[in-house]
Structure 1
Amino acid sequence: IRYPWINIELGETKSRQKINKYIYFKPWNWIIVAGTYEEEIYSSLHETERFIIIVVLMGLVLVLVLTLTLSTVLTRPIKELIEVTTRMAGGDLSERVLVRNADEIGVLGVSFNRMIVQVQHYTSNLEKIVSSRTKELEESREKYRDISRFLNSILDSATEYSIMALDFYGRIIEFNKGAEKITAIKDPSGKTTGFVEIVRDLTRRRTLEKELTETKEFLENILDSSVDGIVTTDLKGKITYLNRAMEEMIKYRREEILGQHISQVYVRGIQEARDIMALLRADERAENYEMETRTKDGEVLVILNSLFLVRGEDDRVIGTAGIFKDITEQKRLEAKLKSAQARLVEASKMRALGELVAGVAHELNNPLMASQTILHVLLKNFSEDNPERERLELIKKCNNRIERIVEHLRGFSRQTEPEFSELDINYPIENALMITGQQLLDHNILLKKRLAQNLPKIMGDSNQLEQVFLNLISNARDAMDEGTRPKELTIYSYSTEDEGVPLVVVSVKDTGEGIPEKNLDKVLEPFFSTKPVGKGTGLGLSLCFGIIEAHGGRIEIKSQPGKGTEVTILLPIKQSGKE
């Protein structure tokens, strides 16, 4: 029974609402009454509510502080590694990564330092080999020049051959200019009886000619034996020589390319040739000049070039020469290394974040259980038609939602190997929205879900796919924060076919600022980011690409600056009878 009550004995002058509970005790024929003031009943509830709010606020502050601290600790060695990589790409191989700990980042730093030492060693050996071969070529060229000068002096001073044509009677009927030096022998009657000619020994001349030929072949063999491509051009840029390695590199036969302009094999064409010539005119030589060439079948190669001017005997520039080293495979391995580094960094971050989330979820679970218990007791003591029961039911719904989020975070934070199983693609989407839904509301973003029901199942790892959707939703949210247009995030899911292959499609579309066309081909690369420093690492979309690729799917990105971006994920449907 609820009624107003004034306790005169305590000096009260104003009534307070009091609630009594009556029960009949038959053995004694007694009626037992228990009562208390209404405000005393609700005071404990209000204290519980305040306690929950304080605990939640303290938990959020603790999460923020720990996240910022861990982010700083985790990213500092990565930033140092990136700086060393940048200096290394600029040609400075003396830098080393400072290894502070023996964790995964420390192991990566040690491996990276070992790689720098090996690259420095290989570069040093290559420079020594090139220097040695260049010196041999210069010595051979000087020797060739000496022999050439010597042979020219001999030919210039040598007597020309004498050629004479005689008839059957021995009379001269024709002779060349060299025969003018022949003296005729005549008898007293004036009849020619013979000829006198001075003959010189040409053995020395023949020997020198042979040596000259052998020297020329020796030099050509040296150039053809080089593992690097060697090309010479005249001042007009036309190719005058290329060795066998260069033929194999650009896949042109020597007779096809000789006499052609060198820009024919440059990706940038004539502009590359002009830039190289301007560089050589300024410094006469250039080392470690990186450029791209195109082979006969259209393949693009990354080349590390050493260029220099070729001068004649009078020190006049007669052409250019270049030593081409194919570093395409080296660049590919460097890209793989960067990708591996990115995955290692993200794995470390996810592990730390998982441990943090698991700890916070555990701490939130204890007061949540206490709150649920108190609510259960209070609801049990209220009748169905009690007006206060509706408020308690609302609190219970909020607690249930907190409980679901906590349980989901605990499951999401577990470090497990990918487990592929049949799943509905809408399941990881809904989980991602459960976590990010409040964030979208806080950012005034209107969420539109267009999720098709009863979609065919796919084979996938729910946690990994949820990570992909969390990343895409986060990117869309950040993109719309920068603009002034209406903020709308639309998520579609549906099934389709592509060239007869059944697919499940998920599309995440925002109304943000969009991506410039020049950056569309780079957004999936590791460490590429257009966000301000400290707000993004450039690893998110790269990891999403790796996860979707591991699921046998693909990512397509469409964007228009000023209108927004749409990221589409296509995943194969599980075929019956196939794993």
Structure 2
Amino acid sequence: MYPRSHIMSIEKNFKKQKDYQALIQSVTDCVVAINRHFRIIMANERFKDQFGVHPNTLCFKGWKNREEKCENCLVERSFEDGKPHQNEETVIMKDGRAAHMLIKSTPVRDEKGDISYVLETATDITEKKRLEQELKKLTGNLEQIVGDRLQSLRKSEERYRTMFERSRDAILLTDAEGNILEINQAGVQIFGYTNREELRAKKTAIELFQDREALRRFRREIFREGFVTEFEAKLTGKGDRVFDAAITCNVMILEVMGKVTGYVMIIRDVTQRNQYQKKIEQQNKQLAILNAISMTVNSSLDLRELLKSILDKMLEILESDSIRVYLLEKEKRTLDLVAHKGLSDAFIGIRHIQSRRVGDGMLGRAVERAEPRVVNNLQRSGDKYVDVLVREGLKSTAYIPLLSRGEPIGVMAVSSITPFRYSSDYVAFLSAVGSQIGIAVHNAHLYENLKKAYKDLKDTQDQLIRTEKLASLGKLAATIAHEINNPLAAVLNYIRLMIKLVAREHFTAGKLNDISRYLATMESETARCGEIVKNLLAFSRQSRMTMANHNVGEIIDKTVALISHELELKQIRVVKNLQDNLPPVFCDFRQIQQVMLNLLSNSSEAMTKGGTLTISANGREDEKFLEICVSDTGCGIPENLLDNIFEPFFTTKEEGKGVGLGLSVVYGIIARHNGSIEVKSEPGKGTSFRVLLPFRQEDLENLDA
């Protein structure tokens, strides 16, 4: 690395030399400058073409394909004794050809007399050696050989000139001070000039830079390294037109003396490329917003939470300062503010900011016509509400309709406190955001409607359960009336008998014993009536669904007690197979009791001539469910009807004996308990219902233990 002052001193020493263009055309030797660290700091085009080596490469590695410096290194000797040296050796060219070279090393000193670098020239004497041999044999063909050589040189020059002119990039040749010496036609067009003379007369390469700081960085790098690659800066052309440029520059060196004679600059106009890159970055940013909004839309169905998250994401990335979101009240034809960010409380508190009629102002017209409305300068807007917006400090606003299935459902107002011009692409992007918000609003409304529908369905289901309970109570009334009638008749008879005894005043010791016996019988029969009524009241009591741990065996026992009299009258034998220590089930006691009552009543009605009713309950350890089975030996159900028995209002009973809600209610209750029910039946042999109810988690752990 060499300081700028050192390089300038070198340039000063070379100013008295002839113009570099004449030399560069006449010198056919390879010239390279090498520093003390054996690194190539400068090389002429001939050297680069022949060996393909560029600055900053180790000379012995890049040039002579060695891993270590040469044993008889001319550069090292010139640095040590300060004298020129030369040597002949064979080297391998870039194209693989072996060439015999005369290599000379010349130390170059600065103003203080110190050696700055060593200039090596390599003269290809292969041809000379060959000619010397041939001249001895073919002295008569010397003129032809020389002519061919000159012709070859002219063709080489023509090739380079063609490449120079046909390049699509600007190629500038300057002197050491930066004055433009030559420029190709592409350069004239890129800088916007008519001809080369016009550009050479008006501009130096230094004046092409718009930014002085970029120029300083460029010069610092070229002085330090001897070349720069793809250096980006803003350059000025004709009429002070500014464009983005990528610059590649190499130092040109006088081949013999090692003087910096100028620079070769290759300039490419990358304005369009940078614009495309900026547009891609903007699109990626917008896609990131849309993706974030899309994820937010799918993450929640709470409208206010959704809108808050969306506004936060937008202001985090967009070039806007505030956002308002209005939703359309179709019946009132008004737009109501539902979300906002980046605005003062005083502004939000204004009545026409809170609510606006459809068609009123820019905001109202955006939803009325379902088209975006853009105001790039609010102070020049004809909107009657512009004064309020200007006082808030807003400079521009875009009103974007929110659409759901093509229909407007609201408006989004995006504003900026700095002058901002909304391009068509930016408005299209905001419209895409508006569509996402429209989807969010639509989904939130669907969710609210679904919640309402679910509540209505649940209320209807509860009503069905209450209706079926009343129907069950009606069925129980006759049976219980018969069951209560017998003990009440016995109590009545004993009361009448005791009245007669009191009337006759026959209270012997034997009669007193009879009265005691009568009273004991009355007490037990009355208690039995009370228990029957108590069970009936407990079953009929209205209550909300209450989940708790309950013993299914107890539920079964209390349900059987309710219809035990009916079963006795029909001569139905009850068989209970309940597993010992049944684990509790997390359920609603009365609803499961209603399930059991409906199933037992159906079995009772199916066995008109008596039979066996079997009730079993077992804990299923493998499936972690409690299994309840209710089987009868009744008439059975035809196979073609089994798929319909759980449907509401489907019944196989005679008219007046049922409305077809019993099993539908049973199915609904079991489903609400996350359980399942299935049926198997064979006509003439009987029917079996199998109910599965899940255990609570802690009970499952106890069961597994």
- Greater Cα radius of gyration, structure 1 or 2: 2
Q: Which TM bucket (shorter chain)?
A: 0.3 to 0.5
Q: TM-score of the superposition, structure 1-length normalised?
A: 0.35
Q: TM-score of the superposition, structure 2-length normalised?
A: 0.29
